[in-house]
Amino acid sequence: MLFQILDITVPVLLILSLGSALYILKIHFDSKTIGILIIKIATPCLTFTTLVKTEFTLAELLQSGLAALMVMAIVAALAYPFIKMQGDKLGPYMSCLLHPNSGNLPLPLCLLAFGEAGLALAFPYFVVISVSQNTFGYAMIAGKLRWKELLFHPIVISVTAALIVKSTNMYLPNMLLITTSYLGYTAIPLPLLLLGYALPQISAGNLKKGFMYSFARLAFGVIAGLSVIYILGLSGMLAGVVLIMASMPVALLNFIIAVERNIEPDTIGGMVITSSLMMITLIPVLVWVVLWMFPA
């Protein structure tokens, strides 16, 4: 078990460390360009290829997306009174608690823990969080809802295309699948490098509040994840994927939006960095718990 956990966690930590080393050594890493490549090309290609190739049924994949919605609903119910008790602005802090990192940490963990099957089950969950964060999450922080982002989000397009292909048994040329596979492979290391590169640059801001919300994000996520697993009667690989996805730290995108709109960027930056560092140290424990409770 120990070596299995190390096989899963050490590659993630090494790639994160490499990203931080690039910044410390002042090696230029164009974060904006890399971010665009990840969001608009790499991740949609990986999503499309994984969903088309997976042997899971549409019902099984939709169950993962349903779990994401239910986890968000429970987290929102827990977060509302917590934020009110702190006397903080509801929108920005709700987005931080509601929208965890759903890509550059949990997807590699699901892949390493459960293989490509685990990655396939993680994608519907990822899609729900990603679309919500890029639309409703943006509105919570910036005060403006971007419906165009919802309708034309690359992830939504790739998932729709994959579902059409899968439901109609449409034939796809092998050269197309090979191309999307090659592009999709970059969606695993690039986000980890990007997160590692970003961590040393984020101002810690209000550390006390950052730690408080970091613990809240982890606690609410774990409670919501376990509750949904029980409610839906999930087990095995899908239950493990849901718990991993639900337990993730505050997403970096919350900080990016906060900086863009000048909505408490220091405090939200502190939340991102403290929750990310907390989860990085807890990855071995999380993986051990998941593999112990929900063996594939």
List, for residues 43-85, the tens digit of each pLDDT value.
888 888 877 887 777 777 889 999 999 999 999 999 999 999 9
Instruction: Tell me the two tokens of residue 91.
Output: 């929108």
Most confident of 109-113, 199-203, 263-267: 109-113
With beta carbons less than 8 A apart as the criterion, state whether 5 and 284 touch.
Answer: yes
Decide if 278 is inside a domain.
yes
Residue 250's SS3 state is: strand
Residue 95 is predicted with a pLDDT of: 92
Decide if 180 is inside a domain.
no
Decide if 83 is inside a domain.
yes
CA distance 236 to 8: 18
CA distance 222 to 220: 6
What's the whole-number mean pLDDT along residues 1-7?
65
CA distance 162 to 169: 10
Q: Quick one: pLDDT band at residue 257, thresholds 50, 70, 90?
A: confident
Residue 150 is predicted with a pLDDT of: 63
Most confident of 73-87, 148-162, 192-206: 73-87
Decide if 158 is inside a domain.
no
pTM of the predicted protein model: 0.78
Residue 145 is predicted with a pLDDT of: 65
What's the whole-number mean pLDDT along residues 203-230?
87
Q: Quick one: pLDDT band at residue 147, thresholds 50, 70, 90?
A: low
Decide if 157 is inside a domain.
no
Residue 238 is predicted with a pLDDT of: 93
Number of domains in the chain: 1
Q: Kindly report the CA angle at 122 between 290 and 77, in degrees rounded to 5?
A: 80
Decide if 250 is inside a domain.
yes
Decide if 205 is inside a domain.
yes
CA distance 106 to 127: 13
139 has pLDDT over 90: no
Please give the residue range of the domain that contains residue 105: 2-29+57-141+191-293
Q: Which positions ≥6 away from 158 have C-beta within 8 Å?
A: 44, 45, 47, 48
